[in-house]
Structure 1
Amino acid sequence: MSIITTATALLAGIAVETDRTDAVQAFVKQETILVELATTDGLRGTGYAYTIGTGGTSVLSLLQDHLLPLLVGEDARNIEALWQRLFATTRATTTGAITSLALAAVDTALWDLRCKRAGEPLWRLAGGHRREVPVYDTEGGWLHLGTDELVKSALVAKEAGWAGVKIKVGKPHLNEDAERLRAVREAVGPSLHIMTDANQSQTISSALQLAAALEPYDPYWLEEPMPADDLSGHARLARATNIPVAVGESMYSITQFRNYLEAGAASIVQVDAARVGGITPWLKVAHLAEAHNVMVCPHFLMELHVSLVAAVPNGKFVEHIPQLRAVTRSEMTVRDGMAVAPDEPGIGIDWDMDAIDDRRVS
C-alpha cells in the first residue's frame, strides 16, 4: 500500500535568468506552484506547475481549498483514478489553464512517487525509448535582441552541435522579421534548424504574409502564428505554406490536440506538461500525435520534458530555456548537442527546498 498521508502546496516566485520578450508579452517571472505528497511507505513526491507572472495564487487556492484534501487517504499508485477524480471535481472550471496547472502539480508529484517506488527514472517508466534527445536554443532568439546578437547566439549553438535555434518573430514591420531570419540563415548555413515563433500575434491574413516572407530562409517551423483557439485559421495556413505549423503550448486538453490533428492544422505538437494537466495527459497527447505521424517538441520546462521526450518514439527536440537553476541542486545535462534525461529514480529534478523557501510567496 502507498496511502497518501499529507498533501501540501506552496507558491514560489523565481526571477527570470535573462530578459525574455516576444510579440505579445515579456516573461516577468515564473510563479512556481509545488505540491508535495507523503505516503505510508515512507516516500515523498514533489510535483510542480508554473505561470509566467499572473495566476499563481489562483492555482494555489484551487489546490489548497478543493483538490489536496481529496488526496489524503487515497492510494498514490492509482494515478489515473486520482487524475479523473480531481478533474471531475473541477468540472465547473474546465477546460482551462487554472485547473490544468493545478492538476499538473498533483500529477507530477504522483509520477515522482511512482518512479521512486519502482526505483526507475521517469524517461524509462514513461516509455523508455532512449535517454538522449536533440536540443535547440531559445535564449538567444528573443524579440528585443538585435540581429548581431541573434547571429552570435546561433553560431555558438551551431559550434556546440545543437540541433537548432529559435527566433522570435512579430516585429512591427514584416521586413524586419525576414531580415533577421535571413541574417541568421546566411551565418549558420543550411544545416542548423531555425525555428520561428510568433506567439499568437498574427491574424490569418498577416500570418499568410509572414509565412511567405520567411519561406525563402527555410524555417523549420512557424510556431503559434495565431491565437490557439483559431483552429480553422491554422488549418488554412497549414494548407497554404510549406513551413510546418507548430502549436500546443496554449492548449489545455487532449480534445483540443485531437481537433487540431484531425484538421491537419498541426505539423508539430508542442504539448506542455504543466498546461495540459500533467504527465498523464501529456503521454496521451504524445501517443495521439504518434498515431497521426506527428512529432512532439514540447514547450519550455526542459527539466521535466527532457525525460518525456526521451520516453516516446516521436519525441523530437527539447527546448533549452533554463529557469530552475536558482532552486535546484543540479541542472539538465547537455552533451555533444544532446540533452540527457536524468537516470535517478523520480521525475529527475533535485529541488533545493531552502532556496524555494527563500522565494516563497505568502
Structure 2
Amino acid sequence: MKITGYRILRSFHDWGRPVGDVNGYIESGLTPVPVVLVDTDDGLTGVGMGSDHDIDRIFPAIEGEDPRSVSALYDRMLAQVFKAGHSGATFGGIGTLDMALWDLKAKAAGEPLWRLLGGRDRFVAGYASGLDIALDDDRLAAWYATMAARGFTSGKLKGGRDIPADIRRLGIIADALRVNTPNPALMLDANESWNLKQAVRHVSAVEAVHDLTWIEEPLRRWDAGGHARLTRSIRAAVATGENLTGLEQYGPLFDAGAVDVVQAGSVWGITHFLRVAYAAHSRDLPMSPVGLTGNNAVAHAAAAIPNHLSAEVQDLGAPFGITVDQEFADGGIVLGDTPGAGVSIDEAAIQKRTAAADWLVTEGPHVRPKRAGLQLVADPPPALLG
C-alpha cells in the first residue's frame, strides 16, 4: 500500500450557540472544519480533521510511503519542517495527516481504531464542556441539562473574569448535573488569562464555595514555575497542556511538578497524544484530551492508554457532511465498530454547501487581549480589553 495523494475539503460545524472563552467568542456559532483526505493506490482513503495549514509542505514526507508505518512517518513529518519549526498551525497540519494515517492503518486491518491501538473497552469517559462564556444563565442551564440527560456527571465552565459570576454559574452547572450524582465534578477554564496571584485569588474565592476539581490553563502555557507555585497554593488540580505542540514542551512542567492533569489538544493528532500520555503515565499523572468534537480519532487513542481520566465533550453533533460512528451515553463516548476512526465523509454535500464559518474573527477566542494578566479589576473598561 502506497500513499498517492491528498485532497482538502472545508466543512463547518454549527454549534447552535455562541462559542468561546474569556478571550472572546464566535456569536454565529459557526466554525470551519478542514478535512484532509489521504488516498492510497489500493483505493483506501484516510480521513483527518483539524488543520490544513502547511499540508503542501508536509506531505512530501509521506508521499509514496506505506501509511501503516505511522510512527515513523510522524517523525518524518516533524523532520520535514525542521528548520522552520513545527509549532502552531503547522503542528496541526502534521496532526491532521497523522489522524488520516492511523485511519488508514486501522481500515487496512479491518478493525476500529480503538481496538487496533490496544483498547479493550469502547467506552471513553468524558465531561461536558459548553464553550459557554457567551451563554446567559438560562441557556447555560439548558445546555448542561441536555448533557445531563446523556449521563454526564462533570462539567467545565469557561470563565476567569468575574468571581461572583463564576461561582454562580458553576452552581448552575452543578444543579443541572445533580440528576446523575449528588457531587458533580466542576472544572473552571481561564484560558491563560491570569497572572499567578490573580489565579490564586480567583481560585481561592471559588473554592470557598465549590469543591473545584481542576483549574485549567490558569497561566501562560510555558510557565512551569508559576504553575508549580499555583498547584501548591490551591486545593484544585492544575490542568494544562492543550496548546503545547510537541512532547518536548511538557518536560519543564513535568520536572517542576507543575501539572496535575496532563492535557493534549485533539487537533494535534494521535501520535502526539500517545507519546504525551505515556510520558505522563511514567510520572503517575492522568491524561485528558481536549476538544474531541470533530476530532474523535483521539477518543480511540484515549480508549487504549492506561491513564485516561476524562475527555472533553463540547457538542453532541458533528460537522456538516460528516458522520461519526459513536454515541454519547452514560457520561462519555461509546465508540463504534466501523473500521478506522469511524468517520464517513459526504464529499458531494460538502462541496455543494458552504457557510460563513470563520474562527479567525477580530475578537474571537484565538486572540489574546492585550491586557490579559495585567488588570487590577475583574471587569475593566473596554478600552483596556482591546
TM-score range, shorter chain: 0.7 to 0.9
Q: In the alignment, which residue of structure 1 is the partner of 2:283?
A: 292
Moved more, 24-33 or 228-237: 24-33
Q: Secondary structure at the match of 1:73?
A: coil
Is the partner of 2:339 in helix, strand or coil? coil
Partner of 1:41: 42
Is residue 133 from structure 1 mapped to residue 127 from structure 2 by the alignment? no
Question: Is residue 268–residue 295 contact of structure 1 (8 Å, CA) maintained in 2?
Answer: yes
SS at match of 1:76: coil
Partner SS, residue 270 of structure 1:
strand
Letter of the 1:24 counterpart? N
Query: Which amino acid is 2:225 matched to?
Result: S
Deviates more, 1:197-206 or 1:331-340: 331-340
Displacement of 1:113 in angstroms is: 0.7
In structure 2, what is the Cα distance between the partners aligned to 1:220 and 1:317? Answer: 12
Matches within 5 A, 1:142-221: 142-171=132-161, 173-185=162-174, 188=178, 190-216=182-208, 217-221=210-214
* Residue 32 (structure 1) shift: 2.5
Q: CA deviation at 1:48?
A: 2.0
Contact 2:327/2:334 (8 A) holds in 1: yes
The 4+ residue runs of structure 1 with deviation greater than 6 A are none
Contact 2:325 2:335 in 1 (8 A): no
Tell me, yes or no, if the aligned pair for 1:129 and 1:312 is still in contact at 8 Å.
no
Q: What TM-score results when the alignment is normalised by the length of structure 2?
A: 0.82
Say if 2:99 and 2:270, in contact at 8 Å, map to a contact too: yes
Match of 2:265 among 259, 264, 272: 272
Counting only pairs closer than 5 Å after superposition, residues 2-151 of structure 1 correspond to structure 2 as 2-27=1-26, 29-50=30-51, 59=53, 62-64=54-56, 66-139=57-130, 142-151=132-141
Structure 1 residues 144-153 or 214-223, which shifts more?
144-153
Q: 2:381 matched to which residue of 1?
A: none
Match of 2:272 in 1: 281
Q: Taking structure 1 as reference, are residues 76 and 203 closer, same or farther at Cα in structure 2, changes over 3 Å only?
A: same
CA distance in 1, matches of 2:134, 2:5: 45
Compute the displacement of 1:225 (Å).
0.9
- Structure 2 CA distance, aligned partners of 1:147 and 1:155? 12
* 1:263 corresponds to 2:263: no
Structure 2 vs 1, CA of residues 180 and 273 (structure 1 numbering), >3 Å: closer, same or farther? closer
Contact kept, 8 Å, 2:122 with 2:303, in 1: the verdict is yes
CA contact (8 A) 1:11 1:33 kept: yes
Instruction: Give the residue type in structure 2 aligned to 1:46.
Output: V
Percent of paired sites with the same residue: 31
Output the amino acid matched with 1:358: K
Change (3 A) 1:63 1:293: same
1:351 counterpart letter in structure 2: I
Aligned to 1:334: 328
Would you say the 8 A contact 2:77–2:94 is kept in 1? yes
Number of residues paired by the alignment? 346
Aligned Cα root-mean-square deviation (Å):
2.3
**Superposed CA offset, 1:111-166 (max 9, x none):** 11100011111111123142112222112x61222334434444554454212111
Q: 1: distance between equivalents of 2:150 and 2:270?
A: 30
1:240 paired to 2:233: yes
CA distance in 1: counterparts of 2:341 and 2:84, whole angstroms: 28
Distance in 2, matches of 1:327 and 1:251, equals 30
* Aligned partner of residue 297 in structure 1, secondary structure: strand
Contact 1:11 1:31 in 2 (8 A): yes
Unpaired stretches in structure 1, ≥5 consecutive residues: 51-55
Distance 2:91 2:183 in 1: 38
Which residue identity is paired with 2:276? V
1:345 to 1:228, Cα distance in 2 relative to 1, 3 A: same
CA contact (8 A) 1:134 1:317 kept: yes
| Bigger strand share | 2
Give CA-to-partner distance per residue, 1:319-338, whole Å, 9 cap, x none: 22236342213463012333
174-183 or 266-275, which deviates more? 174-183
Letter in 1 for 2:274: L
Contact 1:306 1:340 in 2 (8 A): no
When normalised by structure 1's length, the TM-score is: 0.87
Tell whether the 8 Å contact from 2:128 to 2:155 is kept in structure 1 after alignment: yes
Distance of 1:166 and 1:41 partners within structure 2: 44
- Greater helix share, 1 or 2? 1
Distance 2:72 2:298 in 1: 23
Which SS does the other structure have where 1:102 is aligned? helix
**Residues 41 and 266 (structure 1), Cα distance of their counterparts in 2 relative to 1, 3 Å cut:** same
Return the letter of the residue paired with 1:120: E
2:347 counterpart residue number? 353
Structure-1 residue corresponding to 2:311: 318
Match of 1:53 in 2: none
Q: Which residue of 1 aligns with 2:246?
A: 253
Q: Which amino acid aligns with 2:127?
A: Y
SS where residue 124 of structure 2 aligns?
Answer: strand
Looking at structure 1, the residues matched to 144 and 266 of structure 2 have their Cα atoms a distance apart, in angstroms, of: 27
Worse overlay, 319-328 or 241-250: 319-328
CA contact (8 A) 1:297 1:316 kept: yes
Cα deviations by residue, 1:232-274 (Å, 9 ceiling, x for unpaired): 2111111111100111211111011232122211111120132
